[in-house]
Structure 1
Amino acid sequence: MLLTTVVAVALIGACFLVHLWVLEGLGRWIYRKGNRIRHPLPIVLTTVFAAHLVEVVLYALGLSLLDWAGEGELTGAILGGPGWFEDHFYFSIASYTTLGIGDILPRGNIRIVAGLEALNGLVLVAWSASFTYLIMERLWGRKGPGEDI
């Protein structure tokens, strides 16, 4: 259980740091003086999507480590051989997005990591949505009272 706790805390911290660095970098890039990019939103959305994929991969690696260490397993998954990591990645996407498809289920201590991944993913997706909204609002501006829409 100690290894599971350490891995879970490390994954949560790593994902928060990745997200912070990506959003902070995007914010600085967008508002840099002399930035001539007219429509940065596609770049923002692509970069945020890539950050989420990196975070999903981090969780897949953590789940793989815990599976390998005997802290639990994914039932319904390929056991060893080709496709083993892909199952962890697929399960991680379903957990991170709180989709929870249910064709692969965690057993053992890794259930805790799967639950925390869902909570972490929910917070990070909301953070991304808030950031994107603020960028759009600032870039597109608001019309004041009496101004043409």
Structure 2
Amino acid sequence: MLLVTFLIAMTLVALTFVMHFAILKFLAREIRNEGSRLKWPLLTVTFSLFVAHLLEVLLYALAFLAIDMAGIGGLQGAVHSSHATLADHFYFSIASYTTLGIGDIVPLGSIRLVAGFEALNGLVLIAWSASFTYLMMERLWRIDGDE
């Protein structure tokens, strides 16, 4: 079971890395494009990255739900009913991804390993987004300041 959980976690890491890379590449290309119709490129970057992170959190939440439904792990604590809902898994996923770790909902079984991977993955992706945003700010504000 540990190998299956490890493979699930690594698949999620790979999917979120590829997804994040594609979004960053698209944003960089769109901003670099001279004919771009973006009126507020930095706001577009920030909002797009926020949505990207929410989608990545949702992928983990769906995996948590699948693990829970398979009976090899679950959530315990302040869940809505005797069986955790997608909303519970999404909330737990946000807390894990951001490394907030509130502690009102705790993982049991195989979800623990995936939650650990999600925390490390979230740290990397949030840092990547912060770096990208900084570089875009530096580039865009330098251009605006020269005019």
How does the TM-score come out when normalised to structure 2?
A: 0.90
2:13 corresponds to: 12
Residues 1:79 and 2:87 aligned together? no
Aligned pair count?
141
Cα distance in 2, alignment partners of residues 125 and 35 from structure 1: 26
Letter in 2 for 1:134: L
User: Aligned-pair distance for 1:39?
Assistant: 2.6
1:95 touches 1:115 (CA, 8 Å); kept in 2? yes
Q: Deviations over 1:11-43 (max 9, x none)?
A: 000110110000000000000122253431111
Give SS of 1:37's match: coil
2:135 matched to 1:96? Answer: no
The percentage of aligned residue pairs carrying the same residue is 56
Q: Residue in 2 aligned with 1:122? A: 123
What amino acid does structure 1 have at the position aligned with 2:71?
Answer: G
TM-score (norm 1): 0.89
1:125 shift after superposition? 0.3
2: distance between equivalents of 1:31 and 1:124? 22
Residue 60 of structure 1 aligns to a residue whose secondary structure is helix
**In the alignment, which residue of structure 1 is the partner of 2:51?**
50
| Partner of residue 23, structure 2 | 22
C-alpha deviation, 1:84, in angstroms: 0.8
* d(CA) in 1 for partners of 2:4, 2:59: 16
- Cα distance in structure 1, aligned partners of 2:109 and 2:49: 32
State how far apart, in whole Å, the 2-side matches of 1:131 and 1:79 are: 42
Q: What is the match of residue 4 of structure 2?
A: 3
Of residues 110-119 and 32-41 in structure 1, the stretch that sits farther from structure 2 once superposed is 32-41
Q: Distance in 1 between matches of 2:64 and 2:96?
A: 11
CA contact (8 A) 1:15 1:55 kept: yes
Task: Give 1:145's aligned residue.
Answer: none
The AA in structure 1 aligned to 2:43 is P
Higher Rg? 1
| Distance of 1:35 and 1:67 partners within structure 2 | 45
Give the counterpart letter for 1:31 in structure 2. Answer: R
- Please provide the CA RMSD for this pair: 1.6
Structure 1 partner of 2:33: 32
- Report the CA distance between 1:55 and its aligned residue: 0.2
**Greater helix share, 1 or 2?**
2
